[in-house]
Structure 1
Amino acid sequence: MTIIQPDTPTRTRPGEELDRAALQAYLSDQIPALGAITNIAQFPGGYSNLTYLLTTSNREYILRRPPFGAKDIKGGHDMGREYRVLTILQQSGYKPIPEPVVFCDDESILGCSFYIMERVQGVILRAQTAPKLGIPADVMQQLSLALVDSLVDLHAISLHSTDPTRLGLIQLGKPEGYVQRQVAGWHRRYGAAQTDVIPDMDALARYLTDQLPPDNPNPTLLHNDFKYDNVVLNPDNLPDIRAVLDWEMCTVGDPLMDVGTSLSYWAEPTDDPFRKTFNLTWLPGNLTRQAFAERYAERSGRNIDNLLYYYVFGLFKNAVVIQQIYGRYRKGLTQDPRFAGLLAGVQALARAGVQALEAGLI
């Protein structure tokens, strides 16, 4: 098997550079212990928030900021909220997260809000590179099981503890009417970002609105973007998850919404090529979507009879996110050439949702 190296950054993409002098002045004033910035690099993965490696005279840190041109997306890319989630999780004793360091809402520094956290060294398996690594099927199976079990562990965190450090958890969201608000909100976002008529998207929106499930009486903490490239793995023992990343959309609500979102990323070998760019779950050894669902049900004790609804919602939500990115590209707010063909991705996910409903299968 190819030796798997820790996740490494590359040169910052043109147009996405950070103002090093302004950042250094801010950090020297706020947290002198961070030391002098000696290098700034960028992690190339992802289409949403931008992630940079700050190397200082003392150690390495991660800086997160919204994508350029994202200010017109109301409610998205909230760096302050992501930082607050990490802080609350840290206080509650949840271990697999990076330590938050500082949040800055002064947009005169970098032109946007941003936050800094510690760097957790390890491997992040990305869909574009993982197939080249030759990971054995038995390792992939153990890794996929670990991912499901980690999601179960997150959903098992008590939201009603009398421990004062946990009181902020339930305040991260409003579980009553959560699914209804999500469906309506993502429908509105699609309308705001829409550039082309896609009948399958309209069909999914109608289904999600007409078939709303009742509120779940046992809400949990939700990550809302739980997938392989949001976990940092131990390079010497891949099933060992060192940290869970990207908490921007963390909230409180129906846990099956989290499961459905994860399954919407979970491409299988027979899925269309676009869906395979989302994740490495189609590689030999991974659980199928159905096996993922059954493992979750077994370990969590939750009823998953209506999981198809949540899976379809996940596909719809991901399609809207892609539409938002494509819409920014069409408006000329970003020049990233990766975004030029994303309309086909919106169409592919919408078609997958319609096919799932026709077949009655996730």
Structure 2
Amino acid sequence: MTFSGSYESRDVTFLLRPVQLAPTPVEEKERLIQSGRRHYSELIGTESPPDGEYLALFQAAFDRNAHRLASELVRLSRALAERPGRELVLVSLARAGTPIGVLLRRAAEMQGRRAVHYSISIIRDRGIDEVALDHILERHAASDLVFVDGWTGKGAIAEELERSVGRYARSRGVVLDASVVVLADLAGVARLAATSEDYLIPSSILNATVSGLISRTILNDACVGPGEFHACVHYEHLAPADLSRWFVDALTARIEALRTEPAAPLAWTEAHRAGLRSVSAAFMAETQSRWGISDPLRIKPGISESTRALLRRVPDRLILRDPDDADVRHLVHLARRREVAIQVEPAMPYRAATIIRATKGAE
């Protein structure tokens, strides 16, 4: 089954299987994941509509950063439009990559390039959805595929993409570019990015209600059988709070206004990426040593990753470079609401980072 969630059908095809899966309470989910009894992809938490105060923080973030985001999308789309090939086949990583994929598809078409967009699942430690890739490659040339995500934190998903797509390509006898294109690459692992700055991408504030009303992707034996796409829950009950179309439509208007304006081409060099990787590795090593953390997966660097952790995980502490920074106001709000300790580190290379609490016996 293919569907488009709450987006227009021309904007995205989700290669996901909608299922019903009861949510697991967040504390129990964290305990099961950290104990190794369940993989994170086997469980989902509860998603509720954001309250008025949080929506106001989202709107303020959008108003503050929409022009920058639109400008960066224009620059990315220009770079992608220059790729050789019959068409641009955008393959976004659901779900953080989905709204970015929608916008890049629209922006590429404004540049006169035929573009299609699929959104598929990738699971850390379990890989890309190979059934979804088979579906795409039955319809498009392998050389036209471009993988898209929203951002990188410490680079775990980008590394998973390289491993699993490389393995898939070898098994199918095809050549695929297994690198990723993102808006913001903090870890220096993306083939192409608009920036390496840790700034607030507005879509990172919300979950399903800015991502077509789909859940994080699911991979377990009860939901996914042989030959089936990875699964998701389609949160139709959140439709009254859905901002997915509003978000992409509002940004499309800004992209349209900017698309003919001159802009410097993206300068994304290997030397720059290497510097980012060095900063990331040093930050992770220092944070693990300082807090006695053996599992690096408990560390979530950057505003976007910190937001996801505070929304979906059991955080131990939120670390901020500047608690008065407008781009971290929503993090302060979430931390206070969940009674999470806030620590200020002015010398930190990122504007925010979150440490996940260790469950009993996990460390």
TM-score clears 0.5: no
Structure-2-length-normalised TM-score: 0.27
Q: TM-score, normalised by structure 1?
A: 0.27
